[in-house]
Amino acid sequence: MDSIIVVEDEQQILELMVDILEMYGYKVRAFSNADAAWRYIDAHSGELKLLITDLRMPGDIDGVDLVQRVHGKFPNTPVVVASGFHSESDSLYGDRVFWLPKPFTIDELHVTC
């Protein structure tokens, strides 16, 4: 997998993030929920380049579960958590998890990637 996976349930934010990342030359795969993102990630082999995910999303799994599953399969994959909800995600701290608090700027998104 040579693309950045972006997971965000707010469609306008998802589209904006994809547009920004593609403007900077990244190949991006976008998902509106963690369930669909995980099915894609789990079905593909090879190290994941980067995961950018929100925390709170509808579906069977949320962003916290997605990060834990990704790190279970690909422990070296860097993850950017783009969210305003840090208090309920204490388990997501480590040297491979980076925080991008919402709201963020275009430059902050680019620098984080």
Q: Where are the domains of the chain?
A: 4-112
CA 41/CA 34 separation, integer angstroms = 10
Tens of pLDDT, residue by residue over 11-54, are 999 999 999 999 999 999 999 999 999 999 999 877 788 999 99
- The whole-model pTM stands at 0.85
What CATH number was assigned to the domain covering residues 4-112? 3.40.50.2300
Backbone angles phi and psi of 30, in degrees to 5 = -110, 145
Those residues whose C-beta lies under 8 Å from the C-beta of residue 48, and which sit 6 or more positions away, are 1, 5, 41, 70, 74, 77
Residue 46: per-residue pLDDT: 77
